Chain A
Amino acid sequence: MFLKNKIIDFMGLRKIALVISLVLILISIGSLFARGLNLGVDFTGGTVMEIGYSESKNPDIIRQLLADNGYDGIVQHFGSSKEILIRLAPQEGEGNDTAEAKAELSNNVLNVLRTETPNADMRRVEFVGPQIGEELREQGGLAMLMALGGILIYVALRFEYRFSIGAVAALIHDVIIVIGFFALTQIEFDLTVLAAILAVIGYSLNDTIVVFDRQRENFRILRKETPAEVLNISLNQTLSRTLITSLTTLIVVLALYFLGSEVIAAFAIALTVGIVIGTYSSIYVASNLLLILGITKEALMPPEKDDEELDAIP
């Protein structure tokens, strides 16, 4: 779109891209091990309360209030200085281990808060039992694997196994980097972020498929070029589409981040990172892998060719 007649030599930069990807993945895995994910209450179990005040509230006051009443919680602003978010770890100890007592916790804490500010607005409570948290963790991982598996099969059927490996490798690359981003920044990782990652899988794949589609077409048309050249031409042909779609999607996701509710902010961040990485990976990771796996013209020739060969045999 911006460079109408110039062909960018994407594949010439592939060694550099490989290094960049490896570095990003190393940083991601490194911070995942070093810092771990700041898992939300959905996955850890526990209680989250969002309390609204009519004017700015210093979290220290709330922290003190909770400590005085024997509650141990993390207190912070949420969205604005009028909203306070309280995270209470799953309570343990005598008389507190029944599930009932845990569900009661938010009521008790709210009562304490109302002794200080009677009109404190209970905006949101999320209580997740430890067992549910564990289940969601397992199911979440499983969902991710199932999505990848389903895509692997579809792409293998529609294209060829090398494309399939390339596509799924690009997706894993994206997922690792988005998760790594959350480990590095310690932004809370909750169910909506998981949904965003699955959406990123869908989006990034969308991008990769469009590029692959053109590559398959060109492998059949362009007979003289080397595979690297074919990939390069295809990437250039689809470049403006890739950029425009990424741009429009980024526009709406950023609108979501800036205008949407605070609850959805982490979701929007995950998508933003995912779209940028997904765009990059469909150019570099997926196509790069095709070359490494040794894609050839023959592998992509339309099936009619077999018939011609058969016909040629007397």
Chain B
Amino acid sequence: MNRYPLWKYVLVVAVLLVGLVYALPNLYPSDPSIQISAVRGAEPVSQTLIESIEKSLADKGITPKKSELNETQNQVLLRFNNTEVQLEAQDILKDSLGRQYLTALNLAPATPGWLQALNAKPMYLGLDLRGGVHFLMEVDMVTAKDKALDRYQDEFRDFLREDKIDYLGVSREGDTLIAKFKTPEQRAEGRKVLAGQYRTEILMGDKDGETTSNLIANISPDNLRAIEKFALKQNITTLRKRVNELGVAEPIIQQQGLDRIVVQLPGVQDTATAKKLLGATATLEFRLVDDGGNDPQSAAQSGRAPLGTKLYYERNGAPILLQRKVMLTGEYITDARSGFDSQSNRPNVSINLDGKGAARFSKVTGANIQKPMATVFIETQFEEFEVNGEKKYKPVKTEEVINVATIQDQLSRSFQITGLDSPDEARELALLLRAGALAAPVYIVEERTVGPNLGQENIDSGFMSILIGFSLVLVFMLAYYRVFGIVANLALAMNVVVIFAVMSMLQFTLTLPGMAGIVLTIGMAVDANVLIFERIKEELKRGVPSQTAIKQGYDQAFSTIADANITTLIAAVVLFGFGTGPIKGFAITLAIGIASSMFTAIIGSRALVNLIYGGRRIKKLSI
């Protein structure tokens, strides 16, 4: 009696082994490291780069613990012994590498090769444990709608004028546009024109004023949703680009709900800079390329641009001279999409302009057919500098030519940029164009920053409380249940291993409340064993033979354990659904802990009990 079939033992051992392997990477502490990646267009990273980096660090007396070259990701990873050296090294590298390479602080896992081969990784640490910034940003949808209404208002006038329809004026009242006409007939004509242009974008209706025939127009709900979606997407794109420049390893930029964006920057120490950078503004300009026969190279060398021109650099660093006069600025762009040209099947970007922009653009492009036109991306960032040891910021404008293309035809409301090398380039250009034409501003509505020192302290105190709590429970169980106490303790240890393994395998984020969840689970996980053991004791008291008592204990306690755990699981699921960041971490560990304790405390502990007592005569149980 009380013997398990072999497969159950094998199952328990297998779970334990897999658990141990996948929990193991967490025992190797991560190295503070710097990740260096080449900017697009710059020379790819190489062994020579590593050597020059090591040399410039050695000059300042810093030796990295290890340098790794990752050619597939075009990255170099430098590991350091501690955070101070890491920070010092980053300052040195920022100066010596210049703008060609991005440096990002990172915590690189020090998982040994054989574990990496098994795809075993340590748990991902939350911002409260590794330090960093969490921003919740809200897109100003009211402004997005306002801008759209302004645009429609302009366009109404343009379209009516173009079709020579006599109208008195277009005004705006709240969210409604009102076009005024002298007669109902003119209104009907105007309505036909606008309906032809907008189809379902705009909902129109007739309403007579005191002396005029009015046409009222509202943005259709579908269109409004599309406008808001566009504003959100655009902001995400812009934020992503800026975060890349900030140099953050493993940033998270995600949509949350209908109008919010979560930005998480692990390891960022200087939150002030991060905030300024995220708040930077970007715009676009279209300019004609200078055709006065001036040499850009010599202008670049002397640093002086000839009269009427302005010196720019392309993304690969080549100088180029553009005309001083701006053809069009990015605020007129309403959309930009990458795609393929239907005739040549080459990648292209289609751009839509609003009414005003279209009128202007068609005039200037009409006069300059067959001439090259450059697209300039302008970004205002804040750079840090020190005055008397005090940190200050000044706006720095970065201007960059992202594309040069020949004007093939008179361009108007929608046109295409071709001559792009690859679909990737088209996609990136479309992103930049959209980023340069922000439809709506974003605001920070929530910020949670944890400094690196506090992060480390949180890890230390978290593990300390897990360790001490765990040990105390072990001692108590051993003292109270003796041999069965050992069984419960082994099951509990297995439970902790399984929790860590599952968290690591699924790459869940471990947060401080998550650690609290593990501690709580340790306390509660013994409950299943306590229930079983108390049941066994009761059976023994009633004079039932030992083997039957064990069997009865496990069988009878099972439904109780299941009921009790499922209800706790309900609470965990609700917590998860409600959860913002840290709370979610607590819910996850609690849920995983409950589930794994069901396995370890029932099947795991039974396997041990069967192994110790099963299949033989016993006079007395040590319980």
A interface residues with partner B (beta carbon < 8 Å): 50, 52, 98-100, 102-104, 106-107, 110, 118, 121-129, 131-132, 136, 139-140, 142-143, 146-147, 150-151, 154-155, 158, 191-192, 194-195, 198-199, 201-203, 205-207, 209-210, 213-214, 237-238, 240-241, 244-245, 247-253, 255-256, 258-261, 263-264, 267-268, 271
Contact = CB atoms under 8 A, between A and B. Distances in A.
Contacts of A98: 443
Contact of A260 (B446, B461, B480): B461
Interface in B545-592: 559-560, 563-575, 577-578, 580, 582-583, 586-587, 590
B512 A264 contact: yes
A78 to B, nearest CB: 11
Contacts of B128: 263
A50 B454 contact: yes
B577 A248 contact: no
Contact of A192 (B465, B470, B513): B513
B450 A202 contact: no
B469 A252 contact: yes
Given A99-B443, A122-B451, A251 B476 contact: yes
Interface stretch (B164-172, B298-306, B428-436, B514-522): B514-522
Contact of B571 (A199, A238, A255): A199
A50 B451 CA distance: 9
B523 interface: yes
A193 to B, nearest CB: 11
B563 A107 contact: no
Interface in B528-549: 530-531, 534, 538
A259 B468 contact: yes
B568 A131 contact: no
A202 B567 contact: yes
B445 A245 contact: no
B567 to A, nearest CB: 5
Interface size class of B (residues with CB under 8 A): 35 or more
Given A99-B443, A150-B570, A256-B516, A206 B454 contact: no
B477 A248 contact: yes
Given A143-B578, A253-B523, 11 more contacts: A106-B271, A123-B451, A192-B582, A202-B568, A209-B560, A210-B560, A245-B526, A251-B523, A252-B465, A260-B461, A260-B462
Contact of B461 (A139, A247, A261): A261
Interface of B: 128, 136, 138, 271-272, 275, 279, 389, 443-451, 453-454, 457-458, 461-462, 464-465, 468-470, 472-473, 476-477, 480, 512-513, 515-516, 519-520, 522-524, 526-527, 530-531, 534, 538, 559-560, 563-575, 577-578, 580, 582-583, 586-587, 590
Contact of B559 (A207, A213, A255): A213
A213 B563 contact: yes
Contact of A199 (B271, B512, B570, B590): B590
Contacts of A99: 138, 443-445
Contacts of B563: 158, 209, 213
A237 B451 contact: no
A50 B457 CA distance: 14
A121 B453 contact: yes
Contact of A255 (B448, B469, B570): B469
B574 A128 contact: no
A191 B582 contact: yes
A249 B524 contact: yes
A125 B271 contact: yes
B444 A127 contact: yes
Contacts of A104: 275
B529 to A, nearest CB: 10
Nearest to A108: B272
Contacts of B526: 244-245, 248
A127 B446 contact: yes
Contacts of A143: 574-575, 577-578
A251 B448 contact: no
Given A52-B454, A209-B560, A244 B448 contact: no
Nearest to A128: B446
A123 B453 contact: yes
A203 to B, nearest CB: 7
B395 to A, nearest CB: 15
B586 to A, nearest CB: 5
B437 to A, nearest CB: 21
B520 A199 contact: yes
Contacts of B560: 209-210, 213-214
Contacts of A245: 524, 526-527, 530
B321 to A, nearest CB: 38
Given A213-B559, A213-B560, A255-B519, A126 B448 contact: yes
A255 B566 CA distance: 26
A209 B567 contact: yes
A264 B578 contact: no
Given A100-B279, A263-B458, A264-B516, A206 B564 contact: yes
Nearest to B271: A125
Given A210-B560, A251-B473, A100 B519 contact: no
A126 B573 CA distance: 26
Contacts of A50: 454
Nearest to B475: A251
Contacts of B572: 202
B513 A251 contact: no
Contact of A106 (B446, B447, B575): B447
A106 B527 CA distance: 45
B570 A241 contact: no
- 4 tightest A-B contacts by CB? A202-B571, A252-B469, A99-B443, A249-B523
Contacts of A191: 580, 582-583
Contacts of B516: 192, 256, 260, 264, 267-268
Nearest to B535: A241
A182 to B, nearest CB: 17
B279 to A, nearest CB: 7
Nearest to A153: B570
* Most chain B CB inside 10 Å of its own CB: which residue of A123, A250, A253: A123
B443 A151 contact: no
A4 to B, nearest CB: 8
Nearest to B449: A125
B271 to A, nearest CB: 7
A121 B271 CA distance: 13
10 contacts: A103-B443, A106-B271, A110-B272, A124-B454, A129-B446, A192-B582, A202-B570, A248-B526, A249-B527, A256-B469
A256 B568 contact: no
Contacts of A131: 445
Contacts of B448: 124-127
B522 A206 contact: no
Contacts of A255: 465, 468-469, 472, 519
A147 B30 CA distance: 38
Given A191-B580, A209-B564, A241 B574 contact: no
B124 to A, nearest CB: 19
* Most chain A CB inside 10 Å of its own CB: which residue of B449, B526, B590: B449
A205 B519 contact: no
Contact of B568 (A139, A146, A205, A263): A205
Contacts of B138: 99, 129
A263 B511 CA distance: 12
A151 B520 contact: no
A103 B447 contact: yes
Contacts of A124: 448-451, 454
Contacts of B445: 99, 128-129, 131-132
A125 B578 contact: no
A154 B519 contact: no
B538 A237 contact: yes
